[in-house]
Amino acid sequence: MSDTAELKYTPGLSGNESHFFKWLIKVGEDIAEKNRKLLLENRTLQSEIERLKNINFIDETTGIHNKRYLQVRLKEEFARARRHGLPLSALFIDLDDFKAINDTHGHIIGDRLLKEVAAILAGLCRSEDALVRFGGEEFVVLMSDTDDREAVILAERIRKEIAEHLFVYESVEISLTVSLGVSTINDGDFEWVTDPEELIVTADSSMYRAKKSGKNNTCYVPLRPERENPLPSRCAERDYERISW
């Protein structure tokens, strides 16, 4: 054997040491498997929490969001609009004489009608708009970065679409109209409007004014009565002659 040759020696493990290392590896594998299962359970739990949260925000009759969702979304959109100086608008929509429809045709057809109205509204709103069933036969549309002109235009589109739509359920044909109230918080309004609920309250008041004007009508009322009418008279020339101020 050469004097320069390297001698290699690998010490062996005793029986106890070999058993210990095998046990240690097994423990590591078990921990890894438990962690994997725990992670999977956490993901499943989080998905269930999100599902329940979504259910909590969904109206069962119409399938759209409910008033609880509006309360959350309104605060978020109000803060965003104030932070970036953007207008924020709301439509308050009430189905005219809906009680008479329920009394005549029953609540099952009434519920079907509400669901179809919700589908019509969803088709006219933007994906970023918050469409909610406020309660009973009332709906609200919350629109970010939307001024008063744009809000009134959408309100009139909704009014005309529903007035021209024939609701048919088996042998029952129903014609329906809606009254709409419009309100807008403009950039300059944030100096004195501190409660986002004022937007919805004003839209609601505008809707009742539309009701008193003969129903099947759209009414806009500014949050500040002393503020000059921000909508030009030529708006009526765009085939929106039924708008009341």
Whether 173 sits among the annotated catalytic residues: the reply is: no
**Contact between 175 and 97 (Cβ < 8 Å):** no
Catalytic: which of 33, 137, 164, 170?
Answer: 137
Whether 81 and 144 have beta carbons less than 8 Å apart is answered as yes
Cβ-contact 91, 204 below 8 angstroms: no
Q: Which residues, in sequence order, are bridge partners of residue 181?
A: 92, 219
Beta strand segments in 145-201, E: 166-169, 172-175, 178-185
Beta-carbon contacts of 124 under 8 Å, excluding residues fewer than 6 positions away, are 154, 157, 158, 161
Question: Which are the catalytic amino acids?
Answer: 137
